Amino acid sequence: MRQLFSSSIRSRYVTYQMVIVSFTVFLSIIILLPVAWMLNASVRPIKEILSYPPKFNFDSLTTKYFVSIIKNETYQQYFYNSTILAISTLFLTVGLGLLAAYGFSRFKMRGGRFLLLGIMALLMLPTVTLIIPYFLLAKTIGIYDSVFGLVIVNTAFILPICIWLLKGYVDSIPIDLEEAAMIDGCTRVQAIWKILVPLVLPGLVGTGTFVFIFSWNEYLLAVTLTDSPESQTLTVGLAAFFGQFIRNWNSIMALSTLTSIPLMIIFFLFQRWVVRGMTSGAVK
Amino acid sequence: MTEKNKKDRKKVSQIDASVVTQRHTDAERFNLKQKLLRRLSHRSVIGYYFVGPAILFFLFVSIFPLTRTIVTSLTDKDDGVLKFVGIQHYLELLQDEWFWNSLFNIGIFTGSSLILHISIGLGLALLINETWFSNTMRNFFRGLLILPWIFSTATAGLMWSLLYHPFGIINYIAVGILGFSAPLEFLQTPSTAMASVVVVNTWKSYPFYMIIILGGLQVIPQELYEAAKVDGANAWHRFIHITLPQLRSLLIATSIIDIITTAGHVDLIRILTRGGPFRSTETVAYYIYNKAILDGNMGYGAAISTLMLIILSILIIIYLKIISRGGGTGETTF
């Protein structure tokens, strides 16, 4: 009797699991269809994609679209600019963000709460409300059409969330560890560098990935504040390419794929920490 | 205070003292005490050194330009000469039918995106939060479901343009399988353009909300569900009476973030439709971009920006009230 009972529960559990897994697989396929189609269109002549029904000839697969994009000097320049932009923004944001998160987490300051609320308000400031003064100011002070200018303005929009996420991490590390280190003769900077930074490393990696993805993908600021290929980024290049009257779908999709590959690699490497940061810190 | 309590305290302090003296000589202890005292009295000042750089950065790069937006909205450029025109732009704005059109469009855009983001995000978060027989598999699917979030708006727009193409796969399903007479021009027809943009925005942004809601689901105490099961509540009742009330403030806060982010989208609309066809997808954000950057009418664009800021700041204040609830003690932690 007991055997029967447990086996019926067991089979119910297995059925339940099957339903959950197959439903998720089904949804994942639908959701990832646009990505699969982009990859498909970057290695197959567009005539076979845009036809009823789409064809899947194995023979017509080709890498020539990728090769032509990679060899193009303008796209190399875009790629270089995007990399410089994303990495500089990453270091500036995480540096300023960690200092501020430490300050907010460890010290009771007069007006600290007010400042923190102000930062939360800035977190939600839409980019579009600032493009007019940025456009005018950038021309006045001479950082229009430069990657440096983009780094500065990108940081302004990503730093608030960065402070917020990092503050959550610093809060979770007991202050006793630093105090013990300081009693044993470390300076505060040493205590931060040797005790705190290794402990919040997952948070730094997660936040850093967040910043990298944000600045790599940023479009509005880049298209408003740049004018020439010397300082334009991949997103601007993509959109400009797309705007042409005759659409070269194969090259567009090859460029999209090449733009996305670094993000996919970084995301799958650091997924755990990004997700942890977002689930624990963003809204509580 | 009782006698026993006092004794205990004395004991503890003696133990503490003995621990300290084991490691430091008297002179060292004195120095240390001085140092700690000094540190305590300077505490509040040191904090500003750490927070200072970020605050200064915000002052110069966010707050100052923000005031410039408002100032610019009161000026106009006439033959290259900047002059003060007061609230003239705002009066024009009230007469501008395209502004009201863009306000209507942004309402449709943010409203439908909000409903789709939160419901899809909540649904998928519930699915991922279920007990899976393999955690690795669950994390793998969680990764796949987040994937759309990492693509740039430009890339997402391009991917979907290919799908929406008259000879693309969606039209193949519509014409070749479902038997429509002609391919649908999703982005070129005023009645479907907005819906098509909303679909792309949903695809691109739901993962963010899914992850945040997942975080909220994980902190709901399991005992609540167990107690409800004992009382005979089915899955639907547990969802309505436990999950939703527990997620309430998180969902409100997330919705506000979503409204503000969606309202600010320019890139998606620029890449997919450029506000068209017949201005049916021109939102307030795109109208600002269109007027100020493409037409060069900075003053007018700044006036729309300022109005948008005023509307959004009401939402921001509500949001700040929610996240700082239960505080009010003057501490910097929420």
Q: How many angstroms separate the CA of residue A1 from the nearest CA in chain B?
A: 23
Q: Between chains, do A32 and B144 touch, taking CB under 8 Å as contact?
A: yes
Q: Between chains, do A112 and B51 touch, taking CB under 8 Å as contact?
A: yes
**3-class secondary structure, B196:** helix
Delimit the domains of chain A by residue range.
2-42, 73-281
State which amino acid sits at residue A171. Answer: D
Q: How many angstroms separate the CA of residue B271 from the nearest CA in chain A?
A: 6
Interface test with A, best of B31, B155, B289 (most A CBs within 10 A): B155
Which pLDDT belongs to residue B25?
A: 65
Q: Between chains, do B266 and A252 touch, taking CB under 8 Å as contact?
A: no
| pLDDT digits 0-9 by tens, A162-209 | 998 888 888 888 888 888 888 888 888 888 888 888 888 888 998 899
Which pLDDT belongs to residue B222?
A: 86
Q: Between chains, do B132 and A25 touch, taking CB under 8 Å as contact?
A: no
Q: Between chains, do B264 and A126 touch, taking CB under 8 Å as contact?
A: yes
Q: Nearest residue of B to residue A216 by CA position? A: B152
Chain A residues with beta carbon closer than 8 angstroms to that of B270: 219, 223, 239
| pLDDT-derived band at B329, boundaries 50, 70, 90 | very low
Which pLDDT belongs to residue B332?
A: 32
Q: Between chains, do B211 and A278 touch, taking CB under 8 Å as contact?
A: yes
| pLDDT-derived band at A1, boundaries 50, 70, 90 | very low
Judge whether A161 and A119 are in contact, CB under 8 Å: no
Q: Between chains, do B312 and A132 touch, taking CB under 8 Å as contact?
A: no
| pLDDT digits 0-9 by tens, B238-267 | 888 888 888 888 888 888 888 988 998 888
Query: Of 3.90.950.10, 3.20.20.10, 1.10.3720.10, 3.40.50.300, which CATH number belongs to A73-281?
Result: 1.10.3720.10
CA dihedral A248, B286, A157, B112 (to 10 degrees): -90
d(CA A24, CA A21): 5
Nearest by CB: B211 against A104, A219, A279: A279
pTM given for the model: 0.84
DSSP state of A110: T
* Domain B88-323: top CATH class: mainly alpha
State which amino acid sits at residue A277. Answer: G
Which pLDDT belongs to residue A284?
A: 44
B65 to B53, B59, B62, B72, B327: CA distances (angstroms): 18, 9, 6, 10, 31
| pLDDT-derived band at A81, boundaries 50, 70, 90 | very high
Q: At what angle do helices A147-171 and B26-58 cross, to 10 degrees?
A: 140
Cβ within 8 Å of residue A47, ≥6 positions away? none
For chains A and B, count residue pairs whose Cβ atoms are closer than 8 Å.
312
Q: Nearest residue of B to residue A266 by CA position? A: B150
More confident residue, B24 or B208: B208
Least confident of A26-40, A46-60, B12-26, B129-143: B12-26
Judge whether B73 and B89 are in contact, CB under 8 Å: yes
Reported ipTM: the value is 0.86
Indicate the burial class of B308 (C-beta count within 10 angstroms; 0-12, 13-18, 19 or more): buried
d(CA A122, CA A162): 12
d(CA A77, CA A74): 5
d(CA A72, CA A87): 23
Judge whether B86 and B318 are in contact, CB under 8 Å: no
Judge whether A107 and B47 are in contact, CB under 8 Å: yes
| pLDDT-derived band at B315, boundaries 50, 70, 90 | confident
d(CA B142, CA B125): 9
| pLDDT-derived band at A243, boundaries 50, 70, 90 | low
Nearest by CB: B154 against A51, A235, A275: A235
Q: Between chains, do B260 and A49 touch, taking CB under 8 Å as contact?
A: no
Q: Between chains, do A131 and B150 touch, taking CB under 8 Å as contact?
A: no
E strand or H helix at B146: helix B135-146
DSSP state of A262: H
Delimit the domains of chain B by residue range.
3-73, 88-323
Q: How many angstroms separate the CA of residue A106 from the nearest CA in chain B?
A: 8
Q: Nearest residue of B to residue A116 by CA position? A: B332
**Does A91 have pLDDT greater than 90?**
yes
Least confident of A144-158, A211-225, A245-259: A245-259
Nearest by CB: A120 against B47, B55, B320: B320
Nearest by CB: A108 against B139, B167, B332: B332
Q: How many angstroms separate the CA of residue B151 from the nearest CA in chain A?
A: 6
Locate tokens 């969902």: which residue? Answer: B251
Interface test with A, best of B35, B39, B50 (most A CBs within 10 A): B50
Which pLDDT belongs to residue B122?
A: 93
Which pLDDT belongs to residue A261?
A: 92
Q: Between chains, do A136 and B72 touch, taking CB under 8 Å as contact?
A: yes
Q: Nearest residue of B to residue A264 by CA position? A: B150
